A and B are shown apart, each in its own frame.
Chain A
């Protein structure tokens, strides 16, 4: 009967010691001011994406030619584009596109990389050797080039443009995450508890998923955060090249592409504001990712 009492006491003690959220936030700002700024940008972006319907009264996809090329002003804070669409609305709704593609591509890419990287480290030997050479082949290509090639390959088969972009961005992420995670998993593989699990006759899947994966979560989380920023940039690049999301969907890269060439001189706001949105989003995720790395990496934390 004593043991349960000790457990409850321990939980209560933990709760009592946890400082309020405001204190945590203040502590984060003090210790990681740039990371806090990054987090703020990310939260603003998430807020925009979630509450897009309430933040603007303009339909981001509806043409209103009577309002074409209106400069930023009281009625349209960031102006209108060549189809008369409100640019602020399209930027707000564009955050949905950016986050959906960013999070889904980063999560799937990093998770596949996590499982494959840990498996490669766990099995070692010839499997590891061959698997790593395959990863080398993928990593030999710059991200954007690989993404372009994947759009060319899958573009004929996948009709949904958002899904196509997610596939094209996810696949290049897999080897990047697998390589980083593998290096951490190699050390864990040699731990006595892994030997103990083997000795107890646990299956490979159980050892990998229950005993190794939880111990490489720190690099995994850092990779996910970094990948979100990269995915947003890649999505914008593909859309800018006309290979990503298509009109009339609100997407920042697409907005940039529509405005940059023909209207750079006469209506610069069409390209400038989506460009700024991309810059801030990527900047925010990178700052947040760096801060997360500093917090989660014990070596960096000690400094």
Chain B
């Protein structure tokens, strides 16, 4: 066994070395050609990223669209490095005391003219003929952002709240876009860089606001070829792409397959070269062992926090002592060590993405209940609180999502942790649809798993889940706290990072410890496995980012593979 583990360790080291030496280096000469075959462990509920919040929409469709701003594709791990995609030059500085942003829009960006085949939907063919080859302008961006910020009745914009600071969006001329804000906000630029902000054609939106839910037509690096729902999606190079030389690939072919074992076997057998969401650690070890140098591993922290959410409205979880005991029982530091071997979680953190300037340091975290370095002291305090609350023999049902990674694995760990302070916990698992119905509508749970996955690392907005449930519709613990709401508001309106950080610490302490409304268990950890011949792509803290595929190229033998 030792020999096997040594081999794995060597292979892993080789993988990391490859990453460190620039698996995604831009310095190498990029090959043109080839088809990128990738696998998506999901099925897109629709093609409209404005209404969806799943990677299942981003992974297949981001390649067809442009965005106004994006995370720097050469530095996607950065939490603050944003670049213009459709705008000219650098990200503009605000004027009028931080209340006005003016973007100059690139000229020569053309709407796709797709090659119509028997598999092309009639609607796509019709609009491709109507606007294909015409120039994108600022009015398209105004229409897009109006749909995002203030959608008409019946049209869903999933991240409308992210733009709450925007007063107006206008186009004074064909290539100038102006945002006016209600108040200066450090959260505005990250909100503009969300990967969900696909830019749509005004003419199409004016005709049918729901068109993009079923069909595809954009200005991105790849043009639509065909989409078989539940099966696959194909794309081909947009020769008229405005970033010169890109994309490098002739096209892409993505297959939808939810099961991770199928994903792994697809990469192992060469039927897919990459999967952009991430794999569990054990599958990484197995694939490294099987493919050796043919496989590259890229890893990073993941901007997804796994929550433990007590229902603050039901007894005995309306008692802060009971809620606090639930958190004190968890050995987060030890859990990180062991769970990172079997689940896609690793990093211990507070409410802010670990590593971000606004995140708590380890020393600061250790002041919060549930993060104390002395586990025995934590558990003794948990038992004392339960006894004081008359709940020493508490039994309850833990509500979880019917997905193995990381939900069920971490859920099983948590039940084991609670058992150590004398709690008897049963697990109730529901498929995704009913799981959300329970959280959002029925609310008939004791304690539930929940998560908060974001794309752009934007802590000022990412922590919105700790506002009152009358404000944050995704807060399922059911608490209202005017003090938390006021702190959130103050933090978002402050332009001073030091003050933001100071308020964030108080906000975090109150939410996780003093009031113990809901808790972070561990932060996710992203493990991307791809064939080493896939070049140019770098991992990021989110499975929603850096997915337009424009910067990927292939080496042999994948370059000439059929």
A300 to B1, CA, bound (A): 54
Is A65 close to B, CB under 8 A?
Answer: yes
A261 and B397 in contact, given A156-B434, A266-B286 (Cβ under 8 angstroms): no
Contact A261 B261 (CB under 8 A): yes
Give the interface of A toward B (CB within 8 A): 61-63, 65, 68, 71, 82-83, 155-156, 159-161, 242-243, 246-249, 261-263, 265-266
A242 to B405, CA, bound (A): 13
Name the CB-closest residue of A to B420: A62
Closest 9 pairs between A and B when the two form their complex, measured CB to CB: A63-B416, A65-B338, A247-B412, A246-B427, A261-B261, A82-B342, A262-B282, A265-B286, A246-B429
Chain B, residues 380-423, CB within 8 Å of chain A (1/0): the string is: 00000000000000000100101010001101110111010000
The smallest beta-carbon distance between B232 and chain A, in angstroms, is 23
Instruction: Specify which chain A residues have a CB less than 8 angstroms from the CB of B411 in the assembled complex.
Output: 247
Provide a sorted-by-A list of 18 A–B residue pairs whose CB atoms are within 8 angstroms. Answer: A63-B417, A68-B338, A82-B342, A82-B409, A83-B413, A83-B416, A159-B428, A246-B400, A246-B426, A246-B428, A247-B408, A247-B411, A247-B427, A261-B404, A262-B283, A263-B282, A265-B286, A266-B285
Instruction: Specify which chain B residues have a CB less than 8 angstroms from the CB of A265 in the assembled complex.
Output: 286, 289
Contact A63 B1 (CB under 8 A): no
Q: Which residues B316-352 have CB closer than 8 A to chain A?
A: 334, 337-338, 341-342
Instruction: Specify which chain A residues have a CB less than 8 angstroms from the CB of B404 in the assembled complex.
Output: 242, 261
Instruction: Specify which chain A residues have a CB less than 8 angstroms from the CB of B341 in the assembled complex.
Output: 68
* Extra inter-chain contacts (4) besides given A159-B428, A261-B260, CB under 8 Å: A246-B426, A247-B408, A262-B261, A262-B280
The smallest beta-carbon distance between A184 and chain B, in angstroms, is 42
Contact A242 B282 (CB under 8 A): no
A25 to B113, CA, bound (A): 82
Chain B, residues 227-262, CB within 8 Å of chain A (1/0): the string is: 000000000000000000000000000000001110
A161 and B426 in contact, given A155-B434, A156-B434, A248-B412 (Cβ under 8 angstroms): yes
Is B78 close to A, CB under 8 A?
Answer: no
A265 to B417, CA, bound (A): 29
How many residues belonging to B are interface residues under a CB distance threshold of 8 Å? 34
The smallest beta-carbon distance between A189 and chain B, in angstroms, is 46
Instruction: Specify which chain A residues have a CB less than 8 angstroms from the CB of B1 in the assembled complex.
Output: 71
Is B430 close to A, CB under 8 A?
Answer: yes
A83 to B417, CA, bound (A): 12
Contact A62 B426 (CB under 8 A): no
Instruction: Specify which chain B residues have a CB less than 8 angstroms from the CB of A249 in the assembled complex.
Output: 426
> Which of B261, B282, B413, B430 neighbours the largest number of chain A CB atoms within 10 Å of its CB?
B282
The smallest beta-carbon distance between B444 and chain A, in angstroms, is 9
Instruction: Specify which chain A residues have a CB less than 8 angstroms from the CB of B261 in the assembled complex.
Output: 261-262
A61 to B282, CA, bound (A): 22
Which of B334, B342, B417 meets A68, CB within 8 Å?
B342
Contact B416 A242 (CB under 8 A): no
Instruction: Specify which chain A residues have a CB less than 8 angstroms from the CB of B419 in the assembled complex.
Output: 61-62
Instruction: Specify which chain A residues have a CB less than 8 angstroms from the CB of B289 in the assembled complex.
Output: 265
Name the CB-closest residue of A to B283: A262
Name the CB-closest residue of A to B341: A68
Instruction: Specify which chain A residues have a CB less than 8 angstroms from the CB of B413 in the assembled complex.
Output: 63, 83
Task: Label chain A's interface by main secondary structure.
Answer: loop
A265 to B338, CA, bound (A): 20
Contact A155 B430 (CB under 8 A): yes
A242 to B409, CA, bound (A): 13
Contact A63 B412 (CB under 8 A): yes
A265 to B287, CA, bound (A): 10
The smallest beta-carbon distance between A263 and chain B, in angstroms, is 6
Contact A61 B416 (CB under 8 A): yes
The smallest beta-carbon distance between A138 and chain B, in angstroms, is 24
> Which of A159, A247, A248 neighbours the largest number of chain B CB atoms within 10 Å of its CB?
A247
Instruction: Specify which chain B residues have a CB less than 8 angstroms from the CB of A63 in the assembled complex.
Output: 412-413, 416-417
Name the CB-closest residue of B to A158: B428
> Which of A246, A248, A249, A261 neighbours the largest number of chain B CB atoms within 10 Å of its CB?
A246
A261 to B404, CA, bound (A): 11
Contact A159 B397 (CB under 8 A): yes
The smallest beta-carbon distance between B86 and chain A, in angstroms, is 42
A159 to B445, CA, bound (A): 10
Instruction: Specify which chain A residues have a CB less than 8 angstroms from the CB of B412 in the assembled complex.
Output: 63, 83, 247-248
Contact B402 A266 (CB under 8 A): no
The smallest beta-carbon distance between A183 and chain B, in angstroms, is 40
Q: Which residues B197-223 have CB closer than 8 A to chain A?
A: none
A156 to B428, CA, bound (A): 10
Contact A242 B342 (CB under 8 A): no
The smallest beta-carbon distance between B156 and chain A, in angstroms, is 25
The smallest beta-carbon distance between A239 and chain B, in angstroms, is 11
The smallest beta-carbon distance between B466 and chain A, in angstroms, is 28
Chain B, residues 1-38, CB within 8 Å of chain A (1/0): the string is: 10000000000000000000000000000000000000
> Which of B280, B402, B408, B429 neighbours the largest number of chain A CB atoms within 10 Å of its CB?
B429
Name the CB-closest residue of B to A264: B261
The smallest beta-carbon distance between B431 and chain A, in angstroms, is 8
A243 to B404, CA, bound (A): 12
The smallest beta-carbon distance between A147 and chain B, in angstroms, is 16
A263 to B426, CA, bound (A): 25
Instruction: Specify which chain B residues have a CB less than 8 angstroms from the CB of A61 in the assembled complex.
Output: 415-416, 419
Instruction: Specify which chain A residues have a CB less than 8 angstroms from the CB of B397 in the assembled complex.
Output: 159
The smallest beta-carbon distance between B266 and chain A, in angstroms, is 14
Instruction: Specify which chain A residues have a CB less than 8 angstroms from the CB of B283 in the assembled complex.
Output: 262
Instruction: Specify which chain A residues have a CB less than 8 angstroms from the CB of B286 in the assembled complex.
Output: 265-266
A242 and B259 in contact, given A63-B413, A83-B413, A262-B280 (Cβ under 8 angstroms): no
Instruction: Specify which chain A residues have a CB less than 8 angstroms from the CB of B427 in the assembled complex.
Output: 161, 246-248
The smallest beta-carbon distance between A246 and chain B, in angstroms, is 4
The smallest beta-carbon distance between A91 and chain B, in angstroms, is 18
A289 to B73, CA, bound (A): 65
A161 and B338 in contact, given A247-B408, A262-B283 (Cβ under 8 angstroms): no
Name the CB-closest residue of A to B438: A156
Which of A160, A248, A266 meets B415, CB within 8 Å?
A248
Name the CB-closest residue of A to B434: A156
The smallest beta-carbon distance between B211 and chain A, in angstroms, is 33
Name the CB-closest residue of B to A82: B342
Name the CB-closest residue of A to B260: A261
Which of B334, B402, B434 meets A242, CB within 8 Å?
B402
Instruction: Specify which chain B residues have a CB less than 8 angstroms from the CB of A160 in the assembled complex.
Output: 426
A181 to B286, CA, bound (A): 53
Name the CB-closest residue of A to B412: A247
The smallest beta-carbon distance between A155 and chain B, in angstroms, is 7
A248 to B409, CA, bound (A): 10
Name the CB-closest residue of B to A65: B338
Q: Which residues B242-300 have CB closer than 8 A to chain A?
A: 259-261, 280, 282-283, 285-286, 289
